[in-house]
Structure 1
């Protein structure tokens, strides 16, 4: 029997799909989760999960020491489950409650509480977990070594590694969402335009001309946009074809991994492009089963 992917809007916008460096995830309508790709650290061990309404995948740039990852699931009751690599305590989320959204970086997990505060677990060295003072947050994102939030008034805050200016979001306004990559951050404005900060060398920040965007996703060195008409556009590094999305149609959600991109169609099927060395693009059988 083919798996069923739920096409409803997810918590935190794009949470029905998630992509890491070597694995991909999808949240099904019955609350179970699909996973494909490299599961050597247990990041794909989601077969027993239930009542999950959103997923997040620890993403990171490709490197000799970045192969392992983790997966996070938000349950309908506001509790959180996690599996995979736990070298820094990034999967120690069993005690989290009243969570409304989750995000995952390389060794970091973020949880947005219903009261607008944020909890974090995992690696703290670069400051990516310094979110205790955040208030009135409505959206969260986690990059390799930095964390970003959107406040209820549409402004943004960020903490962690700022080597390329990826945390320089203090002047951003009118935001509805953000996404964080390796060394860059992108923000979606209420008017459908997109702003970006950080490393521009790959072209991942070349988003100034985008219009009518409804969702954004940042990979390690590429950025993906979902347009209001269901088409998709991408900029940045395309060494593995992760930006080859111009022919996609009828897409309702997107996610960007380190070097691959996945999209959810209106009919519940999933499409993927980019690096597939570990089977992270093996989503052909993920559909509604009609």
Structure 2
């Protein structure tokens, strides 16, 4: 179970340092960057929204080593009401929504209920989570996958997937990483974010609003989909061990604990040059 060590929203980015503290980049107009007092954190998540009217409404989530969860930022739909959660092993954040994977394989949800993306109460044996804007995805221990929420472009059509160990979700598409390094995709095809069938030897994936990013076993990075803001300009990156995809920007964590970024930097979300000692995957 890989915990997110870097996270990207629409207007902000998060990084988890090796000492359990968290660093943020971005304007943080909703308070989503107020993480300077967080400690003993083992995973982070950043709420993402692609729709222009809500660009100032973001939130950040941190998972502590003791299994408790904290959140900061916009809480208009209760997506930050996670202080009572216990025994959590993994967190994910989407538009107006937060998910928590309990160590027994069940999933908790806080936030907006209208599209059904929080209807995860029946999920069991889940080992990985992802939040899109309007849908949620989970990978089970047996390699099957489940999804709930808005399915208008087929982004929840993952029932046939097998041998999946990780998932990622964008605005209208969903990505699955198989245990042998292949990448699957369903949903909206208009921007090319689902053009990943030729990828191989992939060890991690991330999904932005209209783009998909993958890391290979030798530390190279691939991207597919919209490159309107330069979010797919990752071919020169090397020694990458993890990636995160925001709405229109991409982060890469190097093996030495530094972070690189590309894409939309209108709000300073790519200002990660000074970040160091970011925790590496186990």
Does structure 2 retain, via aligned residues, the 8 Å contact 1:14–1:255?
Answer: no
| SS of aligned partner of 1:64 | helix
| CA deviations over 1:78-101 (Å, ceiling 9, x no partner) | 000000000000000000000000
| CA deviations over 1:164-189 (Å, ceiling 9, x no partner) | 00000000000000000000000000
| CA deviations over 1:195-244 (Å, ceiling 9, x no partner) | 00100000000001000000000000000000000000001000000000
Does structure 1 retain, via aligned residues, the 8 Å contact 2:3–2:90?
Answer: no
Does structure 1 retain, via aligned residues, the 8 Å contact 2:229–2:263?
Answer: yes
| 2:15 aligned partner | 26
| 1:120 aligned partner | 109
CA–CA separation in structure 1 for the residues paired with 2:135 and 2:47: 12
**1:284 is the counterpart of 2:254:** no
CA–CA separation in structure 2 for the residues paired with 1:216 and 1:38: 26
Q: How far has the Cα of 1:191 moved from its partner?
A: 1.0
**1:172 is the counterpart of 2:155:** no
Q: How far has the Cα of 1:66 moved from its partner?
A: 3.5
1:210 aligned to which of 173, 179, 199: 199
Q: How far has the Cα of 1:64 moved from its partner?
A: 2.0
Does structure 2 retain, via aligned residues, the 8 Å contact 1:271–1:283?
Answer: yes
| SS of aligned partner of 1:252 | strand
| 1:196 aligned partner | 185
**1:16 is the counterpart of 2:8:** no
CA–CA separation in structure 2 for the residues paired with 1:287 and 1:102: 23
| 1:226 aligned partner | 215
TM-score by length of 2: 0.97
CA–CA separation in structure 1 for the residues paired with 2:208 and 2:27: 17
**1:264 is the counterpart of 2:242:** no
Q: How far has the Cα of 1:13 moved from its partner?
A: 2.4
Q: How far has the Cα of 1:131 moved from its partner?
A: 0.4
Q: How far has the Cα of 1:14 moved from its partner?
A: 5.3
| SS of aligned partner of 2:53 | coil
2:67 aligned to which of 78, 89, 98: 78
Does structure 2 retain, via aligned residues, the 8 Å contact 1:62–1:258?
Answer: no
Q: How far has the Cα of 1:68 moved from its partner?
A: 1.2
| 1:6 aligned partner | none
CA–CA separation in structure 1 for the residues paired with 2:50 and 2:157: 20
TM-score by length of 1: 0.95
| SS of aligned partner of 1:129 | coil
Does structure 1 retain, via aligned residues, the 8 Å contact 2:24–2:35?
Answer: yes
Does structure 2 retain, via aligned residues, the 8 Å contact 1:14–1:215?
Answer: no
| 2:82 aligned partner | 93
CA–CA separation in structure 1 for the residues paired with 2:189 and 2:49: 17
| SS of aligned partner of 1:120 | strand
Does structure 1 retain, via aligned residues, the 8 Å contact 2:241–2:253?
Answer: yes
- Return closer, same or farther for 1:213/1:14 CA change in 2, 3 Å cut-off: farther
Does structure 2 retain, via aligned residues, the 8 Å contact 1:104–1:141?
Answer: yes
CA–CA separation in structure 2 for the residues paired with 1:219 and 1:114: 27
| CA deviations over 1:25-73 (Å, ceiling 9, x no partner) | 0001111000010211000000110000000000111412333100000
1:254 aligned to which of 233, 238, 243: 243
Does structure 2 retain, via aligned residues, the 8 Å contact 1:56–1:102?
Answer: yes
Which ranges of 4 or more aligned residues in structure 1 deviate by more than 6 Å?
Answer: none
